[in-house]
Structure 1
Amino acid sequence: MGWRGMLGFDYGIVQAPLGPDISGPELVAAVANAGALGLLRAPDWEAPDHVRELIMKTRSLTDKPFGIGVVLAFPHKENLRVILDEQVAVLQLYWGECTEEIVNEAHKAGVKVVPQVGSIEEVKKATDAGADAIILQGREAGGHVISQESMISLVPRAIDIVQGRNIPIIAAGGIVDERGYVSALALGAQGIALGTRFLATDESYAHPTYKRKLIEYSTTEYTDVFGRARWPGAPHRVLKTPFFMDWRNLPSDVNEAAQPIIGHATIHGVDKEIRRFAGTVPNATATGDLESMVMYAGEGVGLIKEILPADEVVRRLVEGARRMIHERLTDDSSV
């Protein structure tokens, strides 16, 4: 079923590192225990002690390997030091260059490096840097989107680049069910990464209102309305909530910096104000005007009909893909 056996994972399924703290220890452990790769999300600021706590709590909930995602656009050197010191199985990197230096340091610590990229040029750079696998994100993805092309056009070209290099390509962007899984495998990917589908699980740290909106709304839009001051030049895909639709044409010179405070949340143990147009999704602690907060989601959100336990998401993906391959794609004459 793709990526089978790498690092001991049973299935080629990766739970994306959902920010800012939506993929916490409970979700990551549940995914790991189900045989897939769960990824914590490191804070977007230096917090080495908290990173260590996240790792230790996750280890108290599972004896399986897991990983942690780091956004290179934010301060991260001290966080990275702890991750390597703790020898977490997988270091996932995003929104920044996966350098040979980072890869070599991680390999010395026994840590695999899996960058997430959004272009063929970035695939080439990650390959040359010695990445152990590459998550290739299409424009269909939710949250911050680094790609300008669709997954269906990117994956086959990436496969040609890494051919013979033993570097798995993991497809990401709009995948929520077994049909997306099989489609990615047909393109040549050896695994899939899912964000929105794992966001809509019992164990995710998203606010119940956010989870409910994932069921309620079925369409998304690629935009740059949210978080312009904090993370400039970082477009994203969001649910078409009434608030977003009212402000989708926000003038380009307006950002969240001078906007009113619409809520509060405790994020990675730190109390934070949430301003209008901030790029901060409502986690389980969020209070205030939740309806006006950003709600990231990928294009496949319309296929999500219920909130499920994370292990059930993995089970349905695996069993559904196996059934689909056997019933629809297997040549009966060769069975």
Structure 2
Amino acid sequence: MVRSSGLLGFEHGIVQGPLGPDISGPELVAAVANAGAIGLLRAPDSDSPDVVRKLIRQTRILTEKPFGIGVILHFPHKENIRVILEERVAIMQVYYGDYPRELVDEAHKSGVKVIHQVGSLEDAEKAAAAGVDAIIVQGVEAGGHVIGKESLMTLLPKVADLIRGHDIPIIAAGGIVDARGYVAALALGAQGVCLGTRFVATKESNAHPFYKQKLVEASNTEYTDIFGRARWPGAAQRVLVTNFFNIWKHLPTDVNEDQQPTIGHTKIYEKDQEVKRFSGIVPNATTVGDLESMVMYAGQGVGLIKEIPPAAEVVRSLVEGAQHIIECKFN
């Protein structure tokens, strides 16, 4: 079987990426966990300890299996992490910032394992030195906010060579949606894979049905920075190529969402919020308005997504499909 035996104590070497701001909610994370993979909630982009605690406890109602939560270090997060450690979730994934050894040690004292997502060889070296439990290597093929500029094909084996002998599992991320990508990642030195876009397009995802359908229909993405410039300056992203994007993709660098009209409304963690043109807010299940003009994050593997299955089916097809490929082609 293609299993990450001993990979952080989970049955399968498959990670559902933290999809934000609230796309990977308790329903999706619990479904992934119940299928034996690693499901990750997404912490809010502000210190919201009560919200974090509620998300964790809602997920525990839906599954007895372990799961985790992702934290973007660029945004205020100290109180969120305090609650994560108090609640003793199995995994805390951190990214977009440094997480030094003293903080990793603090998590370990609470029984929480730390996965650091990186987009460069230098950041992988820092993560290894900090004593993290696993490293997610993200290639520029990934959807959403992309931390690096190098392809997974070249970055992954370099990181594998760098940390050889450190006993730190590597998890590959970026454009992987099926068993073929899973096997390719294993061949390049990974022990597991992290999928984002594939899990957005599942029944349990909190993405708007319009967004999910666009992922099924679309085949092209582009690396850009036109969305969310005021909220997160300099954070490039990979998005679906839509009619709206084609019209505005050469947006002047001095324009951001702050001066733009409101094109919709949404609830994020039960809080009402306006959606302005060029905001980085993807449409969730509560969103109303001009959905076509909203950002829709997606990785380069989106053209391989043809349906919206249950999350457990995604996990099963990855595991069984990878095993079939290995048995038929490499044995």
The TM-score normalised by the length of structure 2 is 0.99
Name the SS for the 2:258 alignment partner. coil
Match of 1:86 in 2: 87
User: How far did residue 6 of structure 1 move?
Assistant: 2.7
Matched, 1:104 2:110: no
Match of 1:333 in 2: none
Conservation of the 8 A alpha-carbon contact between 1:7 and 1:65: no
Conservation of the 8 A alpha-carbon contact between 2:224 and 2:236: yes
Match of 1:56 in 2: 57
The TM-score normalised by the length of structure 1 is 0.97
Matched, 1:297 2:298: yes
Matched, 1:235 2:231: no
Conservation of the 8 A alpha-carbon contact between 2:29 and 2:67: yes
Number of residue pairs matched by the alignment: 330
The aligned amino acid for 2:58 is: K
Name the SS for the 2:239 alignment partner. strand
Match of 1:208 in 2: 209
The aligned amino acid for 1:38 is: G
Name the SS for the 1:31 alignment partner. helix
Q: For structure 2, which runs of at least 5 residues remain unmatched after alignment?
A: none
User: How far did residue 8 of structure 1 move?
Assistant: 2.8
User: How far did residue 104 of structure 1 move?
Assistant: 1.1
Match of 2:289 in 1: 288
Match of 1:256 in 2: 257
User: How far did residue 144 of structure 1 move?
Assistant: 0.1
User: How far did residue 161 of structure 1 move?
Assistant: 1.4
The CA distance in 1 between the partners of 2:116 and 2:232, in whole Å, is 19
Please tell me the root mean square deviation across aligned C-alpha atoms, in Å.
Answer: 0.7
User: How far did residue 2 of structure 1 move?
Assistant: 4.9
Conservation of the 8 A alpha-carbon contact between 2:8 and 2:133: no
Conservation of the 8 A alpha-carbon contact between 2:3 and 2:319: no
Match of 1:74 in 2: 75
The CA distance in 2 between the partners of 1:102 and 1:68, in whole Å, is 16
User: How far did residue 181 of structure 1 move?
Assistant: 0.2
Match of 2:171 in 1: 170
Match of 2:28 in 1: 27
TM-superposition CA deviations, 1:44-81 (whole Å, max 9, x none): 01110111010001111111110000001111111100
Match of 2:152 in 1: 151
The CA distance in 1 between the partners of 2:136 and 2:4, in whole Å, is 12
Which runs of 4 or more aligned residues in structure 1 lie more than 4 Å from their structure 2 counterparts after TM superposition?
Answer: none
The CA distance in 2 between the partners of 1:89 and 1:197, in whole Å, is 23
The CA distance in 2 between the partners of 1:287 and 1:294, in whole Å, is 14
